[in-house]
C-alpha cells in the first residue's frame, strides 16, 4: 500500500527566512505524481506545486520549490522569503498513475512569526 509520511507535525520560522518541509512516500510504482497543498485557517485547500515522477527537474512556483529525490522517495517543499500569509497547514499528497487516487500525508503546521 502507498503511504505518505510528513515527519514534522509543526514548524515555525521568522518572516523572510527559508523553511523546508519534509515528505517521504512509499510506492512500488514508477508512474506517479506528487503534490503540495496549503490549507490556511479558512480551511480551503490550495494547490501549491506539483511534480511528475518521470521529470528529473524539480518543480518551482515563485517562492516555492521542491527537492524531488526519486531514489530516496523524498519530496520536500522549500519556501523562500517566507511571508505571514504562508502560515497554514501543508499537506503532501501522492497520486498513483494507475488509478489516479490521491494519498495524503498527515500535514505539517507551519507558523511564520513576524
Partner 1 sequence: NAGVTQTPKFQVLKTGQSMTLQCAQDMNHEYMSWYRQDPGMGLRLIHYSVGAGITDQGEVPNGYNVSRSTTEDFPLRLLSAAPSQTSVYFCASSYSMPRGQNEKLFFGSGTQLSVL
Q: Which residues bind partner 1 (CB under 8 A)?
A: 4, 32-33, 35, 42-47, 50, 52, 91, 93, 95, 97, 100-107
- CB of 106 vs partner 1, minimal distance in Å: 5
DSSP 59-72: PEETTEEEEEETTT
Count other C-beta atoms under 10 Å from residue 30's C-beta.
9
95-108 core/surface letters (b: 16 or more CB in 10 A; e: else): beeeeeeebebebb
Residue closer to partner 1, measured from CB, 14 or 44: 44
- CB of 16 vs partner 1, minimal distance in Å: 29
- CB of 54 vs partner 1, minimal distance in Å: 11
Amino acid at each position: 500500500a502507498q503511504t505518505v509520511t510528513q515527519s514534522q507535525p509543526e514548524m515555525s520560522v521568522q518572516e523572510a527566512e527559508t523553511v523546508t518541509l519534509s515528505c517521504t512516500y512509499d510506492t512500488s510504482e514508477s508512474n506517479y505524481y506528487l503534490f503540495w497543498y496549503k490549507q490556511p485557517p479558512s480551511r480551503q485547500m490550495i494547490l501549491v506545486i506539483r511534480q511528475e515522477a518521470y521529470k528529473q527537474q524539480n518543480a518551482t512556483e515563485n517562492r516555492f520549490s521542491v527537492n524531488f529525490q526519486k531514489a530516496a522517495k523524498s519530496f520536500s517543499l522549500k519556501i523562500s522569503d517566507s511571508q505571514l500569509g504562508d502560515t497554514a497547514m501543508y499537506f503532501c499528497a501522492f497520486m498513483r498513475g494507475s488509478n489516479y487516487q490521491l494519498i495524503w500525508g498527515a500535514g505539517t503546521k507551519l507558523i511564520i512569526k513576524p
